[in-house]
Structure 1
Amino acid sequence: MKKNSLITFTALIVLSFFSCKENETITSVEVTEPEYEGAELSLEFDQKIDSLIALMTLEEKVGMLHGNTLFTTAAVERLGIPKLQIADGPLGIREELEINSWTPLGLDDDFATYYPAGAGLSATWNTDLAYAFGNGVGEEARARNKDILLSPAINIIRTPLGGRTYEYFTEDPFLNKKMTVPFVKGIQKNNVAACVKHYAANNQETNRNIVDVQIDERTLREIYLPAYKAAVTEANAYSLMGAYNKFRGDYLCENDYMLNTVLRDEWDFKGIIVSDWAAVHSTVKSLKNGLDIEMGTPKPFDEFYLAQPLIDSAKTGKISDTEIDKHVKRILRLMYNLKMMEGQTNRVKGSISTEAHFKDAYNIAAESVVLLKNEQNLLPLQTNNIKSIAVIGDNATKKNSLGGFGAGVKTKREVTPLEGLQNRFPESVKINYAQGYLERYSKTFETQFGDVTVNKPETIDELDPKLLEEAVEAAKNSDVAVLFVGSNRDYESEASDRKDLELPFGQEALIEAVLAVNPNTVVVMIAGAPFDINEIKEQASTLVWSWFNGSEGGNALADVLLGNVNPSGRLPWTMPKKLEDSPAHATNSFPGNETLTYDEGILVGYRWFDTKNIEPLYPFGYGLSYTTFEFSNLKTDKPSYTENDMIQVSFSIKNTGNMDGKEVAQLYITDSESSVEKAAQELKGFKKVMVKSGSTVNVTILLPAKELAYYDVSKKDWVVEPGAYKLKIGKSSRDIVAETTVSIE
């Protein structure tokens, strides 16, 4: 999997055991840049490509520039040019659909591994798992003969109401890029092109097809583009997807500044731009301004903007043959690099739904679970002291591989939380299941233009009296109760944002009723985005956050609850006490109508909360463990540096508890002397470290001084200002345990 088996994706580990105290060991961990396999898009085939293009008719060339079916382009069989086969893939490889609609074909050979959603992956804070995820879906894409995988989805989480928050990674640009790069490399090592989406500034579902997003240049560069830039310049992504929305007046699939000036001229992108489905609005403008392939379903394929209208435009001289050839060449270059062309050999064959892939899905899920509260030490559950357990809630049996408007996965294996507990509990423990609440929606709800909730009915929040009674009785007659509540992929969905942070389906009343009869209750939230859990946090002694967590999600969650796995997930976004505390809502700049200005600027997520001194319900990076950790000995290798230097930040982590566990050390920087506005602190490094009980790990994080830069709009360049910078090590953005100062000369 890796170029150098001695260098892990995050750390070079050197073991040196000596007697510091009885039974204590010291491990040194130096965080280095990842060494994942990945290949640049080679230009070695350009001469062959030029010869091929010279033989092609106009109609053959144009057929390669638009969808010929829902997920393929046209082949040129007489020249040995195959069709491009595309698949959705944020959660795994989507099932096969009809060629011109979203109707499943109902095949029996398109089952795939369901991987945890993006928010769960980012909650692991483990880039190795991002690589494993990418590699797994890449292998499965090849097993299904796919060439382009529409994944990963990396838009910044700007609002907690976002319908695709569950699918995206994080609110932080640094964490975002560090998870994106290995994910992309993992996909592409399998001769599959990652199509990184949705480029760019596509941070809400409301009015996504028409909204004109206005972002100042510094905010664009510092918050919304870093992960895309890293995908191109570090991971060598072969393709990007143009988003639905406008940016500064132009749709993003015909945006010269974003597709040409930034992407190709500045970042030297050599790959292809694929439109989101039905996101194209012009023929000549789209092609000239950077789009390569138009996909969609709203009309016959030969009527697409880059289909017959393009042929007509070429014949009337509105666009040149040279311009068309440029885009065809990009596509052929991609095909040669993927070993698709006639005569090429040794293309990866792939594999699908293997035990190795299910194990990867399990590992991601197990490291994603966040322990929010454990005041009475109910967790981990001690099965030798438990004779009966009440498992309550529709989410205990809800499956999320399919559902909602977005891409799902048809899988043969999705272990639910109830099944996970049944798999893990000994037969001596009686499990009393009660559904508790119904997932119900109004059929009469209608929305108007500009409403936050689009095409989604209102939930029915009244509890069914019989189900409530059954839940209360189960809790009353059990030693322990575990409540599975939260959301699902029907409620959190592409094409609509939530209207508020309220828990749906009357769940708050259910939680209150269960807690009233059994204080030994563990509340498990299963959701992809923040909810208002203020009252739950106050009432419940034990609170866990899980996600739409893949094929093995139930087993992984059960292992965390039972202590077979020590929880190590950390929140990848900030959970506000109230919606109005979040920056997009505090500035009244969500959802907008036809125009939307990001008035919070660079203060997105925890940057806003920390800079404005607003207390969150749970901060970015937060998560507890069944053990305890102490940090000490924070220092740097030198007191001062130049902007081209590498800053070595070292410290020690000791596991002072009774269980082995993983801690996520988070490195934040503060520049209080800056000549421009900056956030109170910014994440610039992290390391997930396994520390055995009673042991100490010495960690060194390597911080490039260039990471201290801000984007200077007047210079159109990144600037590291000289002066003093605070380096802070913390367990979350609000739990800083040590800090030191360095100067940049």
Structure 2
Amino acid sequence: MTYKLPHLKRYGCLVLVALVTACSTSEKTPQQAAALEANGINMTHEAQINELISKMTLEEKVNMIHGVSSFTSGGVARLGIPELTMSDGPHGVRPEHGRDWSMDNAGNDSATYLPTGVALAATWNPELGYAFGEVLGRESKARGKDVILGPGVNIMRTPLNGRNFEYLSEDPYLAARMAVGYIKGVQDQGVAASVKHYAANNQEIKRAKVNVEMSERALREIYLPAFKASIIEGGALTIMGAYNKFRGQYSTHNAYLINDILKGEWGFKGLVVSDWGAVLNTMEALHHGTDIEMGTDLLQMPNINYNKFLLGDTVITLVKSGQVKESLVDEKVRRILRVMYHTNMMGAQRTPGALSTSAHQQTAQKVAEEAIVLLKNEGNLLPLSKTGVKSIAVIGANATRRQAMGGGSSQVRPPYEVTPLQGIQKMVAPGVKVTYAPGFEVTREEKANQKLIDEAVQAAKSADRVVFVGGWTHGYTDDWNGGGYDAEGADKPSLTMPFAQDQLLAAVLKANPNTVVVLIGGGPIDMSRWVNQTRSILQAWYPGMEGGTALAKVLFGETNPSGKLPVTFPKRLQDSPAHALGQYPGDKDTLNLEYREDIFVGYRYFDTYKVEPLFSFGHGLSYTSFGYTGLTISRQGEAVQVRLQVKNTGLVPGAEVVQLYVKDEQASVKRPEKELKAFQKVFLSPGESKTVTLTLQKDAFQFYDAGKKQWVLEPGKFQIVMGSSSRDIRLTGDITL
């Protein structure tokens, strides 16, 4: 993977990924190099930072460790220390004013609305992760933001989670690879990324109350790897604490998660910021690693006394009375100042940003195109012919619904949003008749509207082809938390397609079997009532401001779909491991939430326990076909090198995601049937072949031994499993370690 170089003026010397090259020609010792950079964080300003801290009053220090407005923590003007300005969200810079929740400039500051996190992950293309982050970084600078609150890397434990649309995958390896690119893209622009929500925030219902209990092995193998990679490989400057408790202590000030693992084992030198309102204990926050407390009580605005935050005046009293050492406060300020120096907030000149440029919009479209997953295509109903089809009926309220301002804290205000209907209308040839019928209403009642159904059926009967655009929406309305679906603060009540769409779709399919189903939304949906009657299904996620353009290009074959599912689609909710084996949403009396499914999350469960999914992890069809041949496996020192040939055996250009899974043939502990350990997206012309080379380090074969408190590689035979999905296996081979 090739990342663009950061701007040379950032540190006055060149920093490329994790390699530090000094400004002078003399080599640095390993100890000196470590002092200059820790996990990607610039450490060259420690003397200046210590000098600044020595000049601050206690009151000035404390002012820096809590919010002083809705989105800023305090600065020290007399010492030239600015406020630190933060902003959501993970797929576009939110439209809030820098100091409150009101929107800026009557819409003149519109930002790029990128596809959501799950869509980015569906590209299986880390290069796009970097481009995605680059857009966010440049636009954050343009809006005067210092920290962008993303990416979200929490694991998709349950398909009901209201924020799955923001997250990346059920698989920790895929989530890690996409997050690292995203973070580097953001931070190469001189803006800090904030990885969230640390840790085990895997549902929205009861999120601020539940106490998550899981095994140490599940924590290490499933729920921490994406965070670890974000810090150690991505060099994330900040991390956001979660709302929930973990093993009895709130995550935002959890001694084990933050002091022992994050700042201890991983050597994190950046800052920990709380989710808004997630600090609930002053002494724990002081001693257990919370560096900035953020939060806003919307009911009290604008008359909030931020000095009364738990890390406000109380800390001053505790220090002056001798109950708390001032050095605890100094350490938090030191971490904040490191981030400020690293992002050129302290005197250095930042490069200019840019807002919603045509290049950024093209990135949004590119991500959307590569994200769309062709789930089913019987009889090659797709792609549609631009000229051979004389009439198309577009049915479904999601065909005209704009999604950018929904979902809660991730809402984005773009200058425009191309809807699926608009994309189709623009794509078809002159003379092709395109009709539209909403078919359903997005309302809280969710009742079928027979009049709308009848109109949709008539439109379907009168058309050569039907494109049904349905699925989920961001809540019921476009306000902050409309409730319902794919929104912060609420989980889905079930996997049933809302707004009586099952009834509508059954009627449409009966009227016209040549119906393509397009699903909008953040994850799986129950398709049991109609999947066998449907020839073609596309999963479009929330595809961003150019989503309609991207969808139309896929529908009509200008773009060959190459997206792959980053999450398993179950046949029914009960088949999901959290619901089959674990607890959800938590014990009603104790609020304990036990992850009894342990490490068997997503495909690890479906494959190990022989449960048939509706669509498997990694699944995604193409308008062409690919052949796999020539698998070779060899040792390269401590690493294992895997090579194979992939050929486009069809008639049109396309891209295949080659997926490498590792299976432990015999282990002293129960391990999954197989686990994703490498992948590569390959673009091929018809008849073209390419050699794919994937390298596995020893961690690809290890498991976490909770008794020994370390990763273990047991000698023995491992199977290398190559596939087009977790269930579509093409080649296998063995290696003995």
Match 2:705 to one of 684, 697, 712: 712
Letter in 1 for 2:516: V
Q: Deviations over 1:716-745 (max 9, x none)?
A: 11111110000010011111111000000x
Q: Deviations over 1:142-166 (max 9, x none)?
A: 1111111100001000001110111
Query: What value does the CA root-mean-square deviation take over the aligned residues?
Result: 1.7
- Paired residues of 1:302 and 1:308 also in contact (CA < 8 A): yes
- Per-residue deviation, 1:381: 0.5
With 59-68 and 707-716 compared, the bigger mean Cα shift is at 707-716
Q: Work out whether residues 96 and 107 of structure 1, in 8 Å CA contact, stay in contact via their aligned partners in 2.
A: no
Q: 1:575, 1:516 → 2: CA distance?
A: 25
Say whether the 8 Å CA contact 2:628–2:645 is kept in structure 1.
yes
Q: Is the 8 A contact 1:521 1:541 kept in 2?
A: yes
Q: TM-score, normalised by structure 1?
A: 0.91
Pairing 1:614–2:599 present: no
Say if 2:39 and 2:267, in contact at 8 Å, map to a contact too: no
Which residue of structure 1 aligns with residue 124 of structure 2? 125
Distance in 1 separating the partners of 2:307 and 2:430: 61
CA distance in 1, matches of 2:257, 2:355: 36
Whole-Å Cα distance in 1 between the matches of residues 339 and 102 of structure 2?
29
| Structure 1 counterpart of 2:364, from 358, 361, 365 | 361
Residue 647 of structure 1 corresponds to 640
Instruction: Name the CA shift for 1:233/1:126 in 2 (closer, same or farther; >3 Å).
Output: same
Do 1:98 and 1:104's aligned partners in 2 also have CA atoms closer than 8 Å? no
Aligned partner of 1:148 in structure 2 is: 147
1:398-417 matches, within 5 Å, as: 398-417=401-420
Correspondence 1:586 to 2:580: yes
Count of residue pairs the alignment pairs up: 690
Give the Å deviation of 1:106.
5.4
Moved more, 218-227 or 534-543: 534-543
Amino acid at match of 1:650: R
Task: Say yes or no: does 1:692 pair with 2:689.
Answer: no
Q: Which residue of 2 aligns with 1:162?
A: 161
CA distance in 1, matches of 2:279, 2:703: 34
Whole-Å separation in 2 of the counterparts to 1:555 and 1:424: 8
User: Aligned partners of 1:688 and 1:675: how far apart in 2?
Assistant: 34
TM-score normalised over the length of structure 2: 0.92
Q: SS of 1:384's equivalent? A: coil
| 1:601 matched residue in structure 2 | 598
Matched letter for residue 622 of structure 2:
S
Residue of 645, 664, 671 corresponding to 1:671: 664
The within-5 A match list for 1:213-612 is 213-298=212-297, 300-342=305-347, 344-345=348-349, 347-442=350-445, 460=446, 462-490=447-475, 491-593=485-587, 594-612=591-609
Q: Decide whether the 8 Å contact of 2:151 with 2:196 is kept in 1.
A: yes
Q: Partners of 1:403 and 1:3 in 2: how far apart?
A: 32
The Cα of 1:99 is off from its aligned counterpart by 3.5
* Counterparts of 2:532 and 2:389, CA distance in 1: 25
Hey, what's the Cα distance between the residues in 2 that align with 1:377 and 1:333?
Answer: 56
Q: Secondary structure at the match of 2:584?
A: coil
Residue of structure 2 equivalent to 1:57: 57
Give, as a single letter, the amino acid of the residue that structure 2 aligns with 1:736: I
Cα distance between partner residues in 1 of 2:569 and 2:516:
20
- Supply the distance in 2 between the matched residues of 1:498 and 1:106 (Cα, whole angstroms): 34
* Greater mean alpha carbon deviation, residues 84-93 or residues 706-715: 706-715
Task: Give the AA of the match of 2:230.
Answer: A
Q: The residue matched to 1:699 in structure 2 has which SS? A: strand
1:637 offset after TM fit, Å? 2.6
Deviation at 1:39, TM superposition (A): 8.2
The whole-number CA distance in structure 1 between the counterparts of 2:337 and 2:432 is 61
SS across alignment from 1:732:
coil
**Aligned equivalents of 2:38, 2:455: Cα separation in 1:** 54
SS in 2 for 1:596: strand
Looking at structure 1, the residues matched to 42 and 305 of structure 2 have their Cα atoms a distance apart, in angstroms, of 35
CA contact 2:89–2:409 (8 Å) conserved in 1: no
User: Which residue in 1 is equivalent to 2:626?
Assistant: 629
Counterpart amino acid of residue 372 in structure 1? L
Deviation at 1:436, TM superposition (A): 0.8
Q: For the residues of structure 2 that align with 1:83 and 1:730, how far apart are their CA atoms?
A: 50
Once the two structures are overlaid, the 10-residue window that deviates more, 692-701 or 682-691, is 692-701
Separation in 2 of the partners of 1:194 and 1:277? Answer: 16
1 CA distance for matches of 2:653 and 2:474? 34
CA distance in 2, matches of 1:300, 1:596: 34
> Could you tell me which amino acid in structure 2 is paired with residue 87 of structure 1?
S
CA distance in 1, matches of 2:646, 2:75: 57
Give the equivalent residue in structure 2 for 1:85. Answer: 85
Helix, strand or coil for the counterpart of 2:94?
Answer: coil
Structure 2 gaps, min length 5 = 7-15, 18-36, 298-303, 476-484
Are 1:38 and 1:188, in contact at CA under 8 Å, matched by a contact in 2?
A: no
Q: Deviations over 1:576-602 (max 9, x none)?
A: 111111111001411113111100001
Say which is worse superposed, 104-113 or 80-89, in terms of deviation.
104-113
How many percent of aligned residue pairs carry the same amino acid? 47
Q: SS of 2:387's equivalent? A: helix
Residues 566 and 464 from structure 1, CA distance in 2 versus in 1: closer, same or farther, beyond 3 angstroms?
A: same
Separation (CA, whole Å) in 2 of partners of 1:646 and 1:408: 43
Amino acid in structure 1 at the alignment position of 2:642: V
Deviation, 1:498, is 1.0
Mapped partners of 2:528, 2:145: distance in 1: 45
